[in-house]
Amino acid sequence: MPSFVARCCGSLAVVGAAVGLLSGCFTDRQNEGQRLYAQRCASCHGDQGQGLRRLIPPLAGADYLKTHRTQLPCLIQHGQQGPMVVNGIEYNQVMPAQHDLTDAQITNLLNYVQTHWGNRLEPYTISEVTTLLVPCHGIDGK
Amino acid sequence: MIRAFVSRSLPLLTALALLGGTQACQFNTDTTAATQRLPYLGEPDVVAPGDTVYPTLPTFTLTNQDRQTVTPATFAGKVYIADFFFATCPSICPKMQSEMLRVYEKYKNDKRVAFLSHTIDPEHDSIPVLREYAERLGVKDASQWHFVTAPRDTIFRLAGKYMVAAQRDASAPGGAVHSGAFVLVDPQRHIRGSYDGTNAEQVDQLLRDLPVLLQEVSGASATAAK
C-alpha cells in the first residue's frame, strides 16, 4: 500500500512537472484583452461596457468604435480629454493615458472590446495597431 | 469505537439538528427590521460605568451643487449616506457612483433618506462642475443628493471623522487617493455602518441595513411623539 502511494505520487509528480513545463511554453495572452479591460477600463466603462449614465460613454454598441476605428489605438495609449459624442450623446470626462501598454496589449484590449457585449467589429492585427500608433507617438512627450 | 458512538448518539444528533433547524427558522423571523439594531461605529467614550457615549460627527458647513448651504440641519430627522469622490477621478469613483445610484434609485423621493458626496478636489470641482457631474449622473437637483464642496482642509478633516481615508497624492491617477467607503449616518450624527462602495456585495449589505436603521428612527420618533 505505501509503495503504491509512493509510485502513484511519483508518477503524479512527473505529470505535474510536465504540465508545469508545458504551460511555461504558452503565454497567457489568450485572455490578455479581458484582463486588461477588467484592470484598467471596467471601473469607468462598466463590466459589460455599459458606461455610466451621461458621465462615461458606453463601449457596448458604441458607434464611436466604428466611426473612429483608426484613432482608437492612440486614444487608448494617450487618453482622451474634452467633449466627445457617442451614440448622439455628448460626454466630457477625462480618460487617463496608458503609456505603459505595448502595441500587442493595445491590440488585445481593443479586440476584446470589438468582440464583446454584442459588438461584432473587425479585430485589429498587431501590425495595424503599430501603424495606427505612429501619428501619435510623442504627442505628449512620452 | 467512533462508529459505535455515532450510531448510539445518532438520534440525539438528529434531534439536535432538528432543534437547531427550528431555532434557525425562529432566529430568522426574529431578526426582522423590528428587532435588529445596527452597531455604533467608532471608539466610544465611557463617561461612567454603563454610560457609553459613541462619537458623533462634528457640525459642518458645506455648499452643494445648487449653491445651497448644507449643514447637519439639512439632514434633521433623516439618515444619510456619505462618500468622498472627485469629478475627474479615473479609478474607483465611477464604480462607486454607479453603486450609489443603485441605493439612490431605490430610495428616490423617500424623504427619510439623503445622500452626501464630498469632492476631495475642491480646486477643480467648482459648483458648476459639481452640478454638471450630478446632472450627468441623472441627479436633477440637490433636494436629496448633495454634491458638496468646502475648503480643502474642511473636507479632509471631515473625511477623517467619517473614518474615510483621503489624501492628495500626485503619483496616483487623478492626483488623489481615497477609500471608496459609503458611510451610513443616523439622525444623531452617529456612524452606523461603513461599506466599500466599489463592492456590490457590501452595497447589498447597506441596502439590507438601511431599512433596519429607518425602522429604528421611526420607532424613536414615535416614542418621542407620545
Q: What is the pLDDT along chain A (142 residues), one digit of tens a residue?
A: 444 444 555 555 555 555 555 555 555 667 999 999 999 999 899 999 999 999 999 999 999 999 999 999 999 999 999 999 999 999 999 899 999 999 999 999 999 999 999 999 999 999 999 999 999 976 654 4
Indicate the fold that domain A31-136 takes in CATH.
Answer: Cytochrome Bc1 Complex; Chain D, domain 2 (1.10.760)
What number of helices (H) and strands (E) belong to chain A?
7, 2
CA separation (Å) from B190 to A35, A122, B156, B195? 41, 55, 19, 15
Q: In this predicted model, what pLDDT tens digit does every residue of B16-27 receive, in sequence order?
A: 444 444 443 334
The CA distance from B65 to B69, in Å, is 10
Q: Which of A55-69, B91-105, B151-165 has the highest mean pLDDT?
A: A55-69
Predicted confidence at residue B93, as pLDDT, reads 83
Predicted confidence at residue B47, as pLDDT, reads 79
The residue assigned the cell 503609456 is A99
Whats the size of chain B, residue-wise? Answer: 226
Strands B176-178 and B166-168: antiparallel
Whats the size of chain A, residue-wise? Answer: 142
Entry pTM: 0.77
CATH class label, B51-225: alpha beta
Alpha helices of B112-166 — where are they, by DSSP H?
127-137, 152-161
Strands B181-185 and B79-85: antiparallel
Whether the predicted pLDDT of B28 surpasses 80: no
Quick check: B160 and B140 in contact, CB under 8 A? no
Predicted confidence at residue A75, as pLDDT, reads 97
Quick check: A127 and A52 in contact, CB under 8 A? no
Grouping H, G, I as helix, E, B as strand and the rest as coil, residue A32 is helix
Range with the lowest mean pLDDT among B1-5, B128-132, B141-145, B165-169? B1-5
Pairwise CB contact (< 8 Å): A93 & B91: no
Predicted confidence at residue B90, as pLDDT, reads 75
Neighbours of A19 (CB within 10 A): 10
Q: In this predicted model, what pLDDT tens digit does every residue of B126-138 receive, in sequence order?
A: 999 999 999 999 9
Predicted confidence at residue B170, as pLDDT, reads 63
> With contacts defined as CB-CB under 8 Å, which chain B residues touch A52?
94, 97-98, 137
What pLDDT band is residue B30 in, cutting at 50, 70 and 90? very low
Predicted confidence at residue B19, as pLDDT, reads 42
Q: Does A56 touch chain B (CB under 8 A)?
A: yes
Give percent of chain B with pLDDT exceeding 90. Answer: 61
Predicted confidence at residue B43, as pLDDT, reads 84
Predicted confidence at residue A67, as pLDDT, reads 97
Predicted confidence at residue B165, as pLDDT, reads 79
Domain limits, chain B: 51-225
What would the 3-class secondary structure string for chain A be?
CHHHHHHHHHHHHHHHHHHHHHHHHCCCHHHHHHHHHHHHCHHHHCCCCCCECCCECCCCCCHHHHHCHHHHHHHHHHCECCCEEECCEEECCCECCCCCCCHHHHHHHHHHHHCCCCCCCCCCCHHHHHHHHHHHCCCCCC
Residue A135 neighbours by CB under 8 Å, 6+ apart: A74
Predicted confidence at residue A13, as pLDDT, reads 55
The CA distance from B97 to B119, in Å, is 12
With CA atoms as reference, the chain B residue closest to A81 would be B88
Which cell numbers hold the place of B161?
Answer: 471623522
> With contacts defined as CB-CB under 8 Å, which chain A residues touch B101?
53
Domain limits, chain A: 31-136
Greater model confidence, B11 or A139: A139
Greater model confidence, B24 or B51: B51
Average pLDDT score, chain B:
84
Residue A96 neighbours by CB under 8 Å, 6+ apart: A79, B90, B173, B174
Predicted confidence at residue B36, as pLDDT, reads 83
Closest to B136 (Cβ–Cβ): which among A42, A54, A94? Answer: A54
CA separation (Å) from A2 to A7, A10, A14, A16, B22? 9, 12, 18, 20, 47
Chains A & B: contacts with CB separation below 8 Å = 38
Predicted confidence at residue B12, as pLDDT, reads 45
Closest CA to A97 of A137, A65, A53, A70: A137
